[in-house]
Structure 1
Amino acid sequence: MLFLKTILIFLIIFIYEVSVTGFSPFVYSIGITGKLRCSLRKANSHSALVMLSKNPHLNFETNPIAVSYFGYDRSFNLIGHFKNYKLWNKPSKGYGVPHVLKLHTLELAKLKARVLYARTPICKYADRGSITVYISEKPHLQKEKKPIAWTIAQYKSSFFLKGVVRRWKQPRLYVKIFHSCSKKLSPCEKMFMKTIPSQYIAPSRKVVSMFNLGTVELSSKSSMGETCQKRLSF
């Protein structure tokens, strides 16, 4: 009996809505405003495609509610209208002025940049020689194939190294120095590693001071071990 009453009430509501609206669709309006930003200095393009959609599971659709390209670092507005035949939660009929959702600034790609500076790598056993310096996220690997950045520096010469990595969270970065400074001649290289303090890791648009390693005395590190590619810290 209760089931029949429920069906009867639904039919009454349905007949009333049809008689009032003529079963015409309701028009919904939606708008968004905001600003797009891309921290990449060498981006593939200078604009992004923005869509208003009812389909969250589709990456790209042929008939979105509204679609347009907008340039980076410029405020944008996108307004769309769509029809719906649902009889409940109906909005005010007609286009009117839509409610606008403010996105503020949407960061499309976050970058973490790092600059390293060391005055002079020194080896008391040799006046000439070179070292290899890595910026890395992988403390457990030694000479990786694709470090964030790397350079070759000469003994008694200053060097600079800048690395950029795309991450949504601040990464843990490390300095790796490979050298062959040793009292005995050896074809092996030693590796020393130091963690880069978090205050020197910042978004690329933010200016921060460089992480200064100072004068690195390579020969003093050799006393910690002679094993090839052994990971040491300083």
Structure 2
Amino acid sequence: MTTNAPSTSRFRRAFKGASVAALLILLAPQQLWAQDGATAVPAPGLPVATLDRDALFLRSKFGVRVQQALEEDRSTLEAENRRIEAELIAEEQALTVERPDLSPAEFAKKADAFDVKVQRIRQEQDQKGLDLQRQLERERQTFLVAIIPVLNDLLAQQGTAVLLDRNAVIFAVQSVDITEHAIALIDDRIGDGASHEPADPAAPDPTAAQ
């Protein structure tokens, strides 16, 4: 029975996933600001502005809703993993107790079947974790598509021709950062985005430059 304990240990470690927050990575700037058709000519004003892309998603109503929903799903999955782990440990202990009454061949057969079961369950639970990650990616892409017209309008209103990622700028005065203004406008225009159907991550990126 010495071969079974590592299986449950591996099973236990497989469920230690990264935090949802670490998965929230937005598309590159050149993909976000591209649009089809003619671009409105900006009115005279500040030619360059900066924006915190991570904060735009994380602090918007849309991003907050997504994070809360995913955290609930992750908590549910973790509780399920703990329950399954306890059941497998109990099953392994029962097999250990039964071992003296089994022939070597019978015990080996049951032990092998238990190992196969552990591996199958681990794969199933790992897949559920990957599904949560894909759901986050779909929601993120949906957000990026939804905010394009909002940001285009904001830039046109301010007469801004260039929008830079604040994290890529060495130095800029605070007055050129439009993150808070953009979040407020996005919240007003699209809200928490619950009515937006998640994008298909396998589909061509509609925000890519033409």
TM bucket (normalised to shorter chain) is under 0.3
Q: Would you tell me which structure has more helix in proportion to its own residues?
A: 2
Larger RCO (CA under 8 A, 6+ residues apart): 2
Q: Quick check: which has more Rg, 1 or 2?
A: 1
TM-score (norm 2): 0.27
